[in-house]
Amino acid sequence: MKNKKIFKKFFLTIFSFCHLAFFSGCQKYAQFENHNGLLSVVAHVPLYIDSAEVVPWKAHAREENDISKGVLVKFNLPNIKEKDIEELFFQRGVVSWIIKVSRRDQNSMHEDLGYFYIPNFVKRGRDQKFYPRNFSYAYFQVLYTATLMSQRLMDQNCPALKHSKQVPKIIWSPTKNDIKEEDGKKYHVWAIVPTEKMSVSVKRIELLPVAFDGSNTLIGDYYVDLALYNLKEGQRYSDYARVGAFRIEQEKELVPITCVPTDHRRNPIRPSQFKFGHQ
């Protein structure tokens, strides 16, 4: 039930920020600036992590202390005026934000969990013409490997691979309440110059949040960074700006329970029939 509430909140927020992006006239916009050919995007609103929630894995006959699938993180994005989005496209081919999610684990080893992009254009009509678009928020998940084995396993009531870990708490910063906005302040400046040619896969955000593999333990410090991205060239066009960070300090190993997985209530399958992959 809690899992359904999380994704209900996700879809309601998608609707809300799409509505605001097109119809709100009082919000603050990031500005496109051109100083003698030196191009930049300047954000006059701070970046922050709006929420970080544990995604529970509801197990049969367990109502409390649910096993965890992973975490769902929501963060804000700068909105850019339509004319500035068009100028960014014509000047440098920049049509997207790219987000990097990285982690420093409990052994102080740093790794990039992955990247995804959010386009500032949408194609419409028979001619597939580009139209500017803004998102106010974006989401991603960091999940245990057991959750990512296959979609079928994610839909089961029972955890796979003897997974029985729970994330009791997530700490994140900055939060919206931590920040006091100041009129005219430049919170972030992205100088628009070709930088890194992306040699790794960059996922596209869809209706559901992008998911990254957090391995068999999620303990560590996580970092969320934002830059400008030329999708056609597959190239980053600015340095990264730090959106925020979150921390998972501990996990609980829950006592395994007897669990009979079901495809749905009227079609139970016996444990001996429960196999990995498709049937």
* All structural domains of the chain with their residue ranges: 2-273
Q: Residues 6 or more apart from 138 whose CB is under 8 A from it?
A: 74, 75, 77, 97, 99, 118, 205
Question: What is the β-pairing status of strands 188-191 and 38-43?
Answer: antiparallel
Q: Residues 6 or more apart from 111 whose CB is under 8 A from it?
A: 102, 103, 105
CA distances from 183 to 28, 45, 46, 187 (A): 10, 9, 11, 10
Residue 220's H or E segment, with its range, is: strand 220-230
Instruction: For the chain, list residues with pLDDT below 70.
Output: 1-26, 58-65, 128, 150-161, 255-279
CB atoms within 10 A of CB 68: 24
CB atoms within 10 A of CB 268: 11
pLDDT at 241: 95
CB atoms within 10 A of CB 217: 13
